[in-house]
Chain A
Amino acid sequence: MDVAQIEKTVKEIYEQVKSESLEEGDVLINTLHRIQDHFGNFIPPEAAETLAELMDLPLSKIYEVLTFYTMFSTRPRGKYVIRVCESTPCHVTGGKAVVEALKETLGIDFNQTTEDGLFTLEFSSCLGLCGVAPVMMINDMAYGNLTPERVKAIIEELRGGEAE
């Protein structure tokens, strides 16, 4: 990606977040969320550098914050980030088989991305959807009452949608 383009985009995002907030002291995390959404599930180093300049902060400060939170990534991730819950309620309702099915269908392990760049598999703490456990989220969409078959169907559908 073109550095100048990244700089321009980050600046726009930063100004946008600032204009929406009543408080200015705390825009960093919201800005990081937007940057990550924009650049496809990760925060490119150039974007972090630009943001450091804009906010007049040392780059180390930006990384200090973004590496603390598990939802931010410094590595490129797939278009679909799959976050599967492994907490007790999901575990006792067959979460393990679901995880296995995910790994098998995708052909990857946790924290890996498929070769086509579509899917990244991550582990998540409780998603608060225990009533329909086991659950996973693919980007912002939650899927419940999962079975290995359902997982495979969901992944195939997303794959199919991309192929079209």
Chain B
Amino acid sequence: MSVAVVASTVLICAGGACISAGEKSVKQVFEEKLREFALDSVVQVVETGCMGACNLGPLAVIYPEGIFYQKLTPQAAEEIVVEHLLKGRPVEKYLYKGPAGEIKAKSQEELPFFKRQVKIATRNLGVIDPTDIDEYIGRDGYFALMKVLKEMTPEEVIAEIKSSGLRGRGGAGFPTGLKWELCRKNEADQKFIICNADEGDPGAFMDRSILEGDPHSVLEGMAIGAYAIGASRGFIYVRAEYPLAIERLNIAIEQAREYGFLGENILGTDFSFDIEIRIGAGAFVCGEETALMASIEGERGQPRVKPPYPVQSGLWGKPTVINNVETLANVPPIILKGAQWFASIGTETSKGTKVFALAGKIRNTGLVEVPMGITLRELIYEIGGGIPSGKKLKAVQTGGPSGGCIPAEHLDVRVDYESLKELGTIMGSGGMVVMDEDDCMVDVAKFFLGFTVEESCGKCTPCREGTKVMLDLLEKITSGEGTHEDLEKLKELAQFISEASLCGLGQTAPNPVLSTMRYFWDEYIAHVEEKRCPAKRCKALIRYVIDPQKCVGCTACARVCPVAAITGEIRKPHEIDPEICTRCGSCMEVCRFDAISKVSP
């Protein structure tokens, strides 16, 4: 470890989102400029994991002042070195800006984005260097494992997790302690623990961020779980789309082995446990636990019938526990701070916190960790900063392709497993896509169903054929050909598919349709009866028109139209021929006189 002769530390977010937004060169510029001004010995540049505010990335925080910069470019990095680090003047234009646009040069805890958050699973994200195990230890890392191995019996560990009320964060919300107990009770010569890191729901990226920013917390959680259930071997199943997570995990596993947190006789006890990484190959269904195990075994990732459950007969027929990344990251703090502490956060049935990925029509897209029971309104307006366009929020989609939509009138619902279920959606892995009045709910349902059709493994008929038929019906409706009979058929199929499908993917596939029908039935009716798309989104049901009062005849629209559907003389109102128009919307974008609008029908 280097000596602490450091005056300032620049923490740069090196999560996948920030790197892809250009972070690598930003870091290089920081380092180059610091060398140029001979500041490299006193200013330390440290890469950290995802800080959550990805839409503001690449991000950097400069300590000890705790000044937070957003949207960095190499140019910005240069200015920050010269102005801030050299001359001590924070560079205003790159400072984090709150939703009202005011400038905030305060410490990380004071930003509105961070204000309401309670960080447990993401406690180390953006704080430590994920490639340095010592920093993890510096934040009490592996102390829980030490405590478990030296002071607790497996039964005591299970009892602690049970009374904490921790439930699976991957979607279904099964009590983690109970799962461990069921597995512990099954006698076998070998057991396994698997970390499900096959995060695939569109819009969810908390697991990636944890793996990239704090891989050791997952390893520690797995080791504790393995001790509790009596497993000697663990697997982390990561999707191949996450190369950086895989790289960080490999480094972390290597370091953990070196320190003796993994391997033979861990911490000098007779407990031995090791972890291997298994990489997926692009199949969403592998997030389903039986499919995931089949994939680890080197088979097609197809699910099988449950029971037997994995805790009875899992990987290679051995009792197996499968936990999600976020679930495992919660385990070490529970052991260290106690079940009571964890259970004091959250609601009656949903304890602790949940990490949500905010996406869609929301100002602060990114990751937030909040106590269970927070209202959607607080989540979206206080933390997320509201809808950027100033438009009205229409619905929030949760739970990805297995979930549903929560309409604006239920914004004050307290977010926990049960209340979301009552509203006809699920917590899921925590993806939240915010939609405004420009989003057509039939179109949204069609999108998710299209996703399921694409990802269905094809093993059982209801899912393989049924979802395809449902998608066809939705296509028909959004193109203005739908009938009342089609709507009835959709409902019937939905019911049938959710009852008859083999695995969770098929059983939950109709949810996006059912929930949008429940809350936005009028939109379905408008599509069918009036051939009208209220959000003016479905191309077959809209037309672009030019308002002759506003059109000055500048010809901008006619020039940009790819199919020459717009005609008119210069300085005279133009016209769009709906027969030729492909509804691409280019004309509306270029019109500076607000003369072009969409109408439906």
A and B, direct touch (CB closer than 8 Å): yes
The reply to whether the CB of B301 lies closer than 8 angstroms to some CB of chain A is yes
With A and B bound together, what is the CA distance between A143 and B361 in angstroms?
21
Bound-state Cα–Cα, A91 to B357, Å? 16
Closest 7 pairs between A and B when the two form their complex, measured CB to CB: A131-B54, A69-B281, A142-B20, A28-B298, A87-B202, A144-B20, A71-B282
Interface centre among B54, B199, B296, B316 (most CB of A within 10 A): B54
Given A129-B20, A142-B20, answer yes or no on A23-B233 (Cβ-Cβ < 8 Å).
yes
In the complex, the number of residue pairs spanning A and B with C-beta atoms less than 8 Å apart equals: 145
Q: In the bound complex, do residue A68 and residue B301 qualify as a contact, i.e. CB atoms below 8 Å apart?
A: yes
Establish whether residues A30 and B447, one from each chain, have CB atoms under 8 Å apart when the complex forms.
no
A64 at the interface (CB under 8 A from B): yes
In the complex, what's the smallest C-beta–C-beta distance from A91 to chain B, in angstroms? 8
Query: From residue 218 to 259 of chain B, which have CB atoms closer than 8 A to chain A?
Result: 233, 240-244
Query: Using Cβ atoms and an 8 Å threshold, which residues of chain B touch A127?
Result: 241
With contacts A88-B359, A144-B17 taken as known, whether A129 is within 8 angstroms of B202 at the C-beta atoms is no
Query: From residue B313, how far is it (CB to closest CB) to chain A in Å?
Result: 15
CA distance A89 to B360 in the complex (A): 5
Q: Does B347 contact A (CB under 8 A)?
A: no
Mark each residue of chain B from 194 to 235: 1 if its CB lies under 8 Å from any CB of chain A, else 0.
Answer: 000001111111011000000000000000000000000100
Pairwise interchain contact B300-A133, C-beta atoms closer than 8 A: no
Which residues on B sit within 8 Å (CB–CB) of A30?
A: 278-279
- B361 CB to closest chain A CB (Å) equals 7
A130 at the interface (CB under 8 A from B): yes
B444 contacts across to A, CB distance below 8 A = 88
Chain A residues with CB below 8 A from B283, complex form: 68-70
Q: Is B34 an interface residue, CB under 8 A from the partner? A: no
With A69-B301, A88-B202, A92-B361: A124-B241 Cβ-Cβ less than 8 Å: yes
B521 is an interface residue with CB less than 8 A from chain A: no
Q: A27-B298, A88-B203, A131-B54 are in contact. Are A33 and B279 (CB under 8 A)?
A: yes
A2 within 8 A of B: no
Shortest beta-carbon distance from B167 to chain A in Å: 23
A32 within 8 A of B: yes
Interface residue ranges, B against A (CB under 8 Å)? 16-22, 53-55, 57, 199-205, 207-208, 233, 240-244, 274, 276, 278-284, 295-302, 316, 357, 359-361, 365-367, 397, 433, 439, 444, 447, 451, 454-455, 457
User: Cβ of B207: which chain A residues have Cβ within 8 Å of it?
Assistant: 128
Contact digits for A128-143, partner B, Cβ 8 Å, 1 yes 0 no: 1111110101001111
A29 within 8 A of B: yes
Q: Which residues of chain B are within 8 angstroms of A130 by Cβ–Cβ distance?
A: 17, 54, 202-205, 357, 359, 365
Residues of A near B244 (CB, < 8 A) are 142
> Known contacts being A88-B359, A144-B17, is A128 close to B205, with CB within 8 Å?
yes
Given contacts A29-B278, A89-B359, A92-B361, 12 further A-B contacts (CB under 8 A): A29-B298, A32-B281, A33-B281, A68-B283, A68-B302, A91-B447, A124-B241, A125-B202, A131-B53, A131-B366, A143-B20, A144-B21
Say yes or no for A9: interface residue by CB 8 A criterion.
no
Are A89 and B202 CB-contacts (below 8 A) given A23-B233, A144-B20?
A: yes
Number of interface residues of A (CB under 8 A): 42
B17 near A125 with CB under 8 A, answer: no
Known pairs A125-B200, A128-B205, A128-B208; A29 contacts B281 (CB<8 A): yes
Question: Is there an interface contact between B295 and A29, defined as CB atoms closer than 8 Å?
Answer: yes
Identify 18 residue pairs between A and B in the complex whose beta-carbon atoms are under 8 Å apart, listed by A's number: A21-B276, A30-B278, A32-B281, A64-B300, A69-B283, A69-B301, A87-B203, A88-B203, A124-B282, A130-B202, A130-B203, A132-B20, A132-B55, A142-B17, A142-B19, A144-B57, A145-B20, A145-B21
The smallest beta-carbon distance between A94 and chain B, in angstroms, is 11
Chain B residues with CB under 8 Å of A39's CB are none
A155 beta carbon closer than 8 Å to chain B: no
Contact B279 A128 (CB under 8 A): no
Contact A128 B242 (CB under 8 A): yes
A26 touches B278 (CB 8 A): yes
| B457 contact set on A, CB distance < 8 A | 68
Q: Which of A5-61 contact B (CB under 8 A)?
A: 21-23, 25-30, 32-33
Q: Which residues of B contact A145 (CB under 8 A)?
A: 20-22
Task: Tell me whether chain B's interface is mostly helix, strand or loop, or mixed.
Answer: mixed
Are the C-beta atoms of A126 and B276 separated by less than 8 Å?
no
* CB-defined contacts of A143 to chain B, threshold 8 Å: 20
Residues from chain A with a CB closer than 8 A to the CB of B17 are: 129-132, 142, 144
Which A-chain residue is minimally distant from B71 (CB atoms)?
A145
Q: Are A125 and B301 in contact (CB under 8 A)?
A: no
From A83, A92, A126, A142, B204 is in contact (CB under 8 Å) with A126
B282 touches A132 (CB 8 A): no
CA distance A146 to B281 in the complex (A): 25
Q: Given the known A-B contacts A26-B296, A125-B284, are A89 and B57 also in contact in the complex, defined by CB atoms under 8 Å?
A: no
A9 to B309, CA, bound (A): 40
With A68-B283, A69-B281, A131-B205 in contact, is A88–B447 under 8 Å at CB? yes
How far in angstroms is the closest Cβ of chain B from A21? 7
Please report the C-alpha to C-alpha distance between residue A66 and residue B393 in the assembled complex, in whole angstroms.
43
Q: Which residues of A contact B361 (CB under 8 A)?
A: 92
Q: Which of A65, A83, A144 contacts B298 (CB 8 A)?
A: A65
The answer to whether B278 touches A65 (Cβ under 8 A) is no
| Closest residue of A by beta carbon distance from B439 | A92
How far does the alpha carbon of A23 sit from the alpha carbon of B282 in the complex, in Å? 22
Cα distance A144–B360 in the bound complex, in angstroms: 15
- Could you say which residues of chain B place their CB within 8 Å of the CB of A88? 202-203, 359-360, 397, 433, 444, 447
The CA-CA distance from A141 to B276 in the complex, in Å, is 23
Which B residues lie within 8 Å of A126 (CB)? Answer: 200-204
CB-CB nearest in chain A for B365: A131
Minimum Cβ distance to chain A for residue B449 (Å): 13
- The reply to whether B296 and A71 form a contact with Cβ atoms under 8 Å apart is no
Tell me the bound Cα distance from A143 to B244 in angstroms. 13
Bound Cα distance from A27 to B54, whole angstroms = 36
User: For B454, what are the chain A residues with a Cβ–Cβ distance below 8 Å?
Assistant: 125
- Compute how far the CA of A59 lies from the CA of B227 in the bound complex, rounded to whole angstroms: 40
Q: How far is the CA of A132 from the CA of B71 in the complex (A)?
A: 11
Chain B residues contacting A83 (CB-CB under 8 Å) are: 241
A90 nearest in chain B by CB position: B202
Contact status B278-A128, CB under 8 Å: no
Taking CB atoms, residues of chain A closer than 8 Å to B447 are 88, 91
Alpha-carbon gap, A87 to B199, bound state (A): 14
Complex Cα distance, B201 from A41, in Å, reads: 25
A21 to B208, CA, bound (A): 23
Return B365 CB to nearest CB of chain A, in Å.
5
CB pair B202–A33 under 8 Å, yes or no, is no
